Amino acid sequence: MKLPLTSEVLSNPALVSDLNLADWDVLVRQARRAGLLARLAETLKGSEWEASVPRQVRWHLEADHVLAERQKIAVRWEVSQIREALAELDAPVILLKGAAYVMAGLPAARGRLFSDVDILVPFEKINQAEAALMLAGWHAQAEDAYDERYYRQWMHEIPPMQHIRRGSVVDMHHAILPRTARYHPDPLKLRAAAVPVEGTPGLFVLQPVDMVLHAACHLFHDGELPHGLRDLSDMDLLLRHFGRDENFWVALPRRAAELELTRPLFYALRYTRHFFGTPVPKTVDDALQKAAPPLLMLMDKLFYRALGPEHDSYRDSFSRLARFTAYIRAHWLRMPPLMLVRHLLHKALISRKEAPT
Amino acid sequence: MAKLPSSANQRFLIQVFNDEALLFDRYSGDTHFLNAIAYARLKSLPDIEIKQEHAAEMDDVEWSRLLESVDKQLRDWGLIG
Amino acid sequence: MRLKDLSDKALRKQLRGEGLGFSSGPFSIRVRSDVDSVAEGLKQLYGNFELNKTDFNDFNVGLFRPYGIRHWVAPQVDFYIDGYRPFRPLPLDQAYPMLEWGLNWCISNFANHLFIIHAAVVEKNGFAAILPAPPGSGKSTLCAGLVLSGWRLLSDELTLIDPKTGLICPLSRPVSLKNQSIPLIREFSSEAFINRVSHDTAKGTVAHLRPPQDSVLRQQELARPGWVIFPKWQKDAEAKLIPRSQAQTFIYLAQNAFNYSQLGERAFAAGTELIRQCDCYDFTYHALSDAIRMFDTLAEGKKGIT
C-alpha cells in the first residue's frame, strides 16, 4: 500500500527536491487536511531543501507556520493561567500531550496545532481543582444534562472546561485513559515518575517512556483506528528524540510491561515505523514479540488505510469596547468569528460543524 | 498571585497616535486601547495636569472616581505595578 | 489567453473536466463544475481574467450537484474545496453566488500569511480607501459606484494586507450586490453589467457586478493605504466626512479582521503601520453621486504625493 506523500516527505525531507508542481498540489492539500502542514513548513524552514520549495507554494507553508507559532504562544499563556488558578491545589499538575511537548521544549511541539490543554491531577484533588478552575473562569462544557451525567457518573470524569472569556479549553483527567478503556495504567505510578518542567515550579510532564506510552494508548486504545497521521507523527518525533539515549529503549518495553501497555506499544512502534521509518532497535522488537495481536494482518489492513484528515472546529468571540479603554482579548485560536463568516456567506452555508455560540 | 515575569519593555509593544495609545501584550496576545486620559496616566503625568487638559469641567469627586477606575484597569492589564 | 476568448462549448468542457484555471491577485484558482449557471456566471463576469493551466493551484474549488434525490427534487449544489465540503448544500439557484462566497471563505480561512480585514477596498491616484462596514451600511453599493466612476476595484469584501510590505493585494473579483442595490447600480451606470439574480431567501436577492476591465488588468498591482472610511447610508443625509481617531479605528479594524488573533504580534505591527498612513473618517451620505464626488475630492488631495 502506497504511503501518503505527507509522511514520506516528513520522514525524508530531501524528497522535496524531486517534487514537481503537481506533487506539491497533492502534498499541500494532504498535509493540511492531516494537520501536518505547519510541521512540514517548520521541517523545511532553514533546511537545505527550503530553496526547493516552488515560489507559488511558499505562502501555504508560511501561513500555517504563522498559525502554529502563534498557537505556541497561546498555549504558554493558557498553561500559565492554569498554573495560577491551581496554585493552591498543593499537588503537582501534570501536563499531557501537546501542551507538554511545548512546555518541555520537545521536537514534537514543532509545527503543531492545538485545541485543548490536557492536564492530569490526583483523583482526590479533582473536585478542588474543578472549583479552582471555575473561580478563574473555566466552566464545564457538557452539551446537555445527559452528557454531563455521562462524564461525571459513568466515566468518573469532569467534562472539558471552557474559559468563559478566552474560549480556551482545559481537559482535566485523573487517569490517562477513561474508566471504560481496556487498559488501566496506574496513575500513581505515572505521577511518581513525573518530571518537573524547568523554570516553572508546580508543573510537570510525564517521564519520557510514559509520555510515549501515553501517546501510544491514545493512538491504539481499544483497537480503535488511530486519530490521525498527526498523532503518529508526534509519536515518531518523540521516539527519535528520546531514542538518542539507549537507556530509553531498555526502559521502554520494561515500563510497558509494568503498566500492562505492551499491546498499544507494539502497534505504535509498528505503525510509526511503517509511516515514518522511525528507527527502533531490534532488541525492542524482540521484547515485544509476544504482544503482537492475533489478527495482525487484519489490523495492518485497517491501519494502512488512508488516514483521515483532522478537522478542528474553531470559534472566536470579541470583547466589548470599554468606556475609557478598549480591549481586544486574544482568543483561543479558532476560525473566523461566526459573525463575520455570516456576513460573507449565506447563513445556510455555515460549517457543518458549527460551534454553538 | 504569581504573575508571569514581566519587564514592561519585553512584554508590551506600544504604538502612540497623537494622545492615544495602543498596546500589545506579547504574553497573552491581548490588545489594549488607551484614550488620552488613560495614556497620560500610564505616563505618570500629574493628575492635575491630566484633568486640566482632558477633563477640566469635571467635578473633583467624579474625577477621582474616574482616575481610580482607570488605574484599576491599567493594573488589571499588568501595565502598572 | 483570457476567459472571454474561450468558446461557450470549450468553457463548459473545461469546467466539467480538468477545471478552469485563472488568477485573482496573488492566488491561482481552479474551478470545476457541472452547473450551468456557474459556467454562465464565469463567462459573463470573468471575461477579462487571464487563464492559466498551472499544476499547482492555491485553491481547487468545485460546485457540483449532489447525487441522489436532491439532484432532482428541490435541487441543490455543494461547494468543494480540496476535495471536501465545508458547508451544507444550497439551492441550485444560488450556485454562482456560492462560488463567490466559497472563494472568499477559502481566502479568509487559509491565507494567514496576510492580515485580512473584512472591508471593501478601492484605489485612486495611488492610494487605497478601505471601507469597513457592517452589512446593511451600503458598503457594497458605494464600492460598486466608486469602481464605475474611475476608482480601481481591489475587493468588495476582503482587504488583504501583506505584513512584509504594508501594501494591499487586489483580488479584482465581481462585486456582490443585494436587493435594491441591483436596480440602483444598473441605473447609476450604463457600463454596469450585473448577472442574473439569485433568490436568496435569507438576505433577499443577490447578483454580481462585472469588475471593470482596468481593475482586472491591474490585479497584480499592489496599493498603498490612504484612508479608512466608515460609510453609512442615511436617508436624506448630506455627504459628510467626520474625522475619527486612528487608534480607535485600529481597534475596530482588529475586531473586524479575520485573523487578528491568529497573527497576534504580526497583525498588531501590520495594522498599526497601516493606520499610521491613513486618514480615518466616518462618512454619511444619501446620494451615491455625492458620495463619489466626496471621495474624488479626497483623492485629489493626495494626488501627486509619492
Chain A positions touching B69 (Cβ under 8 A) are: 324
Q: What is the pLDDT of residues C112-130, one digit of tens each?
A: 999 999 999 999 999 999 9
Is C100 contained in some domain?
A: yes
* Contact residues, C window 207-246, toward A, CB-based 8 Å cutoff: none
Q: What is the pLDDT of residue A304?
A: 59
Same domain, residue pair C211 and C228: yes
Residue C306 lies in a domain: no
Compare CB distances from B17 to C246, C261, C268 and report the shortest one's residue: C246
Q: How many CB pairs under 8 A join A and C?
A: 116
C-alpha gyration radius of chain C: 19
SS3 content of chain B, % helix, strand, coil (to 5): 45, 20, 35
- Are the C-beta atoms of A327 and B33 separated by less than 8 Å? yes
How far is the CA of A78 from the CAs of A72, A83, A171, B13, B28, in angstroms?
10, 8, 12, 20, 8
* Chain C residues close to B11, C-beta within 8 Å: none
Would you place residue B8 in the very low, low, confident or very high pLDDT band (cuts 50, 70, 90)?
Answer: low
Residue C44, in any domain of the structure = yes
Record the pTM. 0.88
Tens of pLDDT along B33-74? 999 999 999 998 998 889 888 888 888 898 999 899 899 989
Q: How many domains does chain C have?
A: 2
Q: Does C101 touch chain A (CB under 8 A)?
A: yes
Interface test with B, best of C272, C273, C274 (most B CBs within 10 A): C272
Of A321, A324, A330, the CB nearest to B28: A330
Q: Is residue C296 part of a domain?
A: yes
pLDDT value for A218: 78
Across A277-281, C59-63, C79-83, least confident range: C79-83
Residues with Cβ within 8 Å of A184's Cβ and at least 6 positions away in sequence, in order, are A175, A177, A260
Query: How many Å apart are CA A69 and CA C263, to the nearest integer?
Result: 9
pLDDT on residue A344: 52
Tens of pLDDT along C218-277? 999 999 999 999 999 999 989 999 999 999 999 999 988 999 999 999 999 999 999 999
Q: Are C171 and C160 in contact (CB under 8 A)?
A: yes
Mean pLDDT, to the nearest integer, of A188-211?
94
**CA–CA dist B4, B7 (Å, integer):** 10
- Going by pLDDT thresholds of 50, 70 and 90, the confidence category of residue A331 is very low
List of chains touching A (3+ CB pairs within 8 A): B, C
Domains of chain B: which residue ranges? 8-76
Over 70: is that where the pLDDT of A349 sits? Answer: no
- Residues C145 and C293 occupy one common structural domain: yes
Q: What distance in Å separates the CA atoms of residue A68 and residue A211, rounded to the nearest whole number?
A: 22
Residue A344: which of C226, C145, C87 has the closest Cα? C87
Percent of chain C with pLDDT over 70: 99
C250 → closest Cβ in B13, B22, B26: B22
Question: How many residues does this entry show for chain A?
Answer: 357
Give, as one character, the DSSP assignment of residue A151: I
Last residue of a domain, one of C110, C133, C160: C110
Q: Is residue C36 part of a domain?
A: yes
Do C57 and C199 sit in the same domain of this protein? no
- Interface predicted TM-score (ipTM): 0.93
* Confidence check: pLDDT of A142 > 80: no
pLDDT of residue C72: 78
Residues of C in contact with B18 (CB under 8 A): 245-247
**Nearest-CB residue to A325 (from B1, B3, B38):** B38
Cell numbers 504511503 correspond to: A3
Report chain C residues whose CB lies below 8 A from the CB of B27. none
The pLDDT of residue A314 is above 80: no
> Is pLDDT above 60 for A53?
yes
Residues in chain C closer than 8 A to B29 (CB atoms): 261, 264
Q: Identify the pLDDT of residue A201.
A: 87
Q: Whole-number mean pLDDT of chain C?
A: 94
Mean pLDDT (chain A) is 80
Contact residues, chain B, for A84 at CB < 8 Å: 1-3
From C59, C88, C110, the end of a domain falls on: C110
pLDDT at position A334 is: 35
| C123 and C147 co-located in one domain | yes
A154 secondary structure, DSSP code? I
- Which of A268, A280, A269, A155 shows the shortest CA–CA distance to A221? A268
Residues C224 and C97 in one domain: no
Q: Is residue C201 domain-shared with residue C297, that is, in the same domain? A: yes
C neighbour chains, 3+ CB pairs within 8 Å? A, B
Residues C154 and C199 in one domain: yes
Closest among A256, A264, A192 to A222, alpha carbons compared:
A264
B32 and A325 within 8 Å at the Cβ level: the answer is yes
Higher-confidence residue of C74 and A340: namely C74
A217: β partners: none
The residue of chain A with its CA nearest to that of C256 is A340
**Which residues span the domain enclosing C88?**
3-110
Mean pLDDT of A45-52: 94
| H or E, element range at B12 | strand B12-17
CB spacing of B70 vs A83 below 8 angstroms: no
The closest of A177, A192, A202 to A84, measured between CA atoms, is: A202
- Residue C61 confidence (pLDDT): 95
The nearest CA of chain B is from the CA of A207 a distance in Å of: 25
Q: Quick one: C162 and C93 in the same domain?
A: no
In the block, residue with C-alpha cell 488501566: A184
Domains and CATH numbers, chain A: 5-304 (3.30.460.40), 313-357 (no CATH)
pLDDT in tens, A237-248: 999 999 999 999
Phi, psi of A19 (to 5 degrees): -85, 140
Which of C90, C201, C261 to mutate against chain A (most A CBs within 10 Å)? Answer: C261
- The answer to whether C185 touches C34, Cβ cutoff 8 Å, is no
